[in-house]
Amino acid sequence: MANCIRCGRKLPSLNFGKKICQWCVQHEAAQRGEDGDDAKQIVLPAPWVRRGESSITLTQVLLGANVAVFLALALAGGSIADFSGQVLVHFGANFGPYTLSGEWWRLLTYMFLHGGLMHIAFNMWCLWELGALCESLYGRWTFGAIYLITGVAGGVASIGWNPLVLSVGASGAIFGLAGALVASFYLGEFSLPKVAIQGTLRSLVVFIGFNVLFGSFFPGIDNACHGGGLVSGVILGALIAKVAPEHDKPFKRVAVLFFVLLIVLTSAVAVKLWRAPMLRFERSFSGHENTLLIADRKSF
């Protein structure tokens, strides 16, 4: 089966000698200004997605991991509507006195914990939508790295801004995905015509703006975590777009990811030096039962 000479996508079996796929034909027409603004871009699989790989996506794996942890929380807490602070911290919630005293692993585990049924339902809805788009555009391993790095960045921002509250939820990583997509689409990493991406870009901006405003007016929303994830995601998306857009040059991608990860880890050390002297590292949660910050209840 022949491949498109422009993007590498598989051409149909009966292509009658054609060497360019439908997507590239319309793309080039849009670049020449021959398509109207209301023209719909043909949706085809990303050319770099290997169809021979497992049909299970990383987005599905992450969603399954979140649900599995939620079920474990439900068994331990006896309810799915809301979980106590003791249960959440036992499973790895992000809490300044614990995280900054050496339990840095909480910056990873907190993003797989959720405060209740509605919390995980909204987050998994957003992860399903944004994760699938991000994974298809960046590829599996880059998507996974963005998810984890921005999630950690959100956790660092959370304990920097709110060191004495529990923070749980995947929204820091989800905001990171949104930020990376906005930066990549805006900077044109994927060389898509404007008519093909303007609707998605507009939806992402509205999604971010709505949730930031929602978190500003309602208590119990960890906007610091959202901000940390969003900013780190924008930085990652911009650097990948400008420095490492090619999928066949993984060393550039690794360098970009490592650079941003180094910034996040340095920020964590700075937060420790800033906040640690102000905290008493006590292994007691009396008085902290009602200081749980959860991820934003998002809509997409």
- Catalytic residue (one of 167, 171, 184, 232): 171
The C-alpha R_g of the chain, in whole angstroms, comes to 21
Backbone angles phi, psi at 221, to 5 degrees: -105, 125
Cross-strand pairs, 167: 94, 293
Helix (H, G, I), strand (E, B) or coil at 258: helix
Give the rounded distance of the alpha carbon of 110 from its chain centre.
14
By DSSP bridging, strand 94-95 and strand 292-293 are unpaired
User: Among 27, 114, 119, 226, which one carries the catalytic annotation?
Assistant: 226
Strand partners of residue 94: 167
The question of whether 90 is a catalytic residue gets the answer: no
Nearest to 70 by CA among 126, 111, 129: 111
- For residue 65, give the amino acid letter: A
Q: What share of the chain is helix, strand, coil (3-state, %, to 5)?
A: 60, 5, 35
Annotation marks residue 171 as catalytic: yes
Catalytic residues: 171, 226
